[in-house]
Structure 1
């Protein structure tokens, strides 16, 4: 979460017991707040949904966590500011298509019982796709299961925003091998309300550090009344401290500074003195740092581009057009 700057992480199939949750809080109490809804019958081996919140970036003092369907659906209400809340529904739908209609009805009933009328985000592992484009080989899922999800989405006015923005693009988050054939699908999705969709950006999917047959979907969200943050003050990238070419240029500029300061000792003027020369030297260092940082960034970008192309071309890739 720290590396990818994730503020709120929704997890499914956690298999987390009460003891596991206590251990997590003991180890990461200063950094994380974790809410877990375990499977009521077999918490350590079945289902489970959870939220993990980065306490260093997200306020948790007025957070509300509601279990809707134990082990399968939970709601998180985050209060960003005094009058601004965001509601996130985390779901882990049943594996069997026959169970989907009853599951979505149970989630809706629980939301209505808690007087929840609006959902900003619905995320999770839905264990089905709504369109054939989201499977390879393409094939439709059980229509009754798809209809149950669509009816729920219509009730709460939720849309597949990523698909709206990428009508013909194929992206898969789950993969398995059956009879020597690779099966891929976009089971993991994030739905949003139409209002929320105007404030989200930078969709991405990540191959997790923990081995899994699912990838993680991420998106950034900025509430309409979020505080505006400026560009900040420029600082020199620390990696330049080991850049031989940059250090060589700095040494050359330093030797020139020493010689110029020596010339001012017998003939100092308001325009030509150690202070003005030092200011010029600092400006020179800044210019050199930006120049070498740009060169390094270009090389890194090219390396990332080539690695991404290699990843896309590999059988493990989930990104195809």
Structure 2
């Protein structure tokens, strides 16, 4: 079966999805929709209903427009839907989303692609690792200087009227979703957003701290107004994982001493290559392929995917509402 695909959106993240889909043999992009832009390309359309004959539709428009498209698709479209995270940006829309029919949920997928990443595989392994011991704390730093690029000011990301918490909804949400999937109920969460670059009116930086019911704590720092850094550390009772500068290292055991009997940094037990840029692209490809396999086989997308997406979306909305 050759899958016919329609896409809502064409720049930025949508362009990544287009590139991935174009590399898959048994899929092709039939149409690309934009509400008002006109490009000299036969694939382009300003008529949303033109996409309704596609086997699958990808929604990769600005975050605040997701529900307006989903609402129309729920009524007039019977195929599979791939929607970028966050699913929606308001509690009203989230409540409406939870009330859609099971038939629609069975064909609806929200792209929390870190669930399909090497980072996820690491957490699965570390939770049962004697070398790490009981996980105590996780520290995540992911930053870049996007807010200082000229095109940032003209993008939807910098508009505080429609995307005040833009970095929370585009970057932090991935890590929150992944951590919540692994560590469960949150006892306490603190959110510290700020605008550092003075470019645009949305927050370009945020820091989130979490304490889970099992006593694991976590810190997530994301920014569009800092140098490019990607670093993840997982600290346990017997060792720690550090992912930084294209290396994934495990240090263990805890009881490592110098000649005077004082604790010192444990030796490197494992050392692997880990390139964040590649891992992000791979997780995105894995997520797209997961979705398209369901389309090709005409199978139901597990309801857990929908339910966990709703929970992560609800958490993001609660964070936003409590900060205002």
Per the TM superposition, whether the score is higher than 0.5 is: no
* TM-score category (smaller protein): under 0.3
TM-score (norm 2): 0.23
Q: Which of 1 and 2 has greater Rg?
A: 1
